[in-house]
Amino acid sequence: MPHPAAAGILGSSSMDESLIGREFRHFKGGRYRLEGFAKHTETLEEMVVYRALYGEGGLWVRPAKMFFETIERGGKKMKRFEPA
């Protein structure tokens, strides 16, 4: 199901299934592949499932709202994860 948190990532107003398999760069430099989407069992919050493309290749989950948000560091606004 589309999630509005992804608005603007690829010029789309909703989560796009084409994001699955795409690489993203975290603002701190790490690279990740978006593996899919899930829902939290208790809250039904939409989550992003992603894998590190370095080290042991760990699998991670983060709220979609947080994955696609704009953050501010050192007075500069940026996406937490940018498409690579």
What would the pLDDT profile of 4-50 be if each residue is shown by its tens digit?
555 444 443 346 788 999 999 999 999 999 999 999 999 999 999 99
Domains of the chain listed by start with CATH number: 4-83 (2.30.30.320)
Residue matched to tokens 């398999």:
21
Looking up tokens 């690829």, which residue turns up?
Answer: 10
Higher pLDDT, 18 or 62: 62
Helix (H) or strand (E) holding 66: helix 64-67
Residue 47, pLDDT score: 94
Q: Which residue has the tokens 């603002």?
A: 27
pLDDT given at position 16: 73
pTM of the predicted structure, to 2 decimals: 0.79
CA-closest candidate to residue 9, choices 80, 62, 75:
80
What's the rounded Cα separation, in Å, for the pair 81 and 11?
A: 15
Average pLDDT over residues 49-68: 96
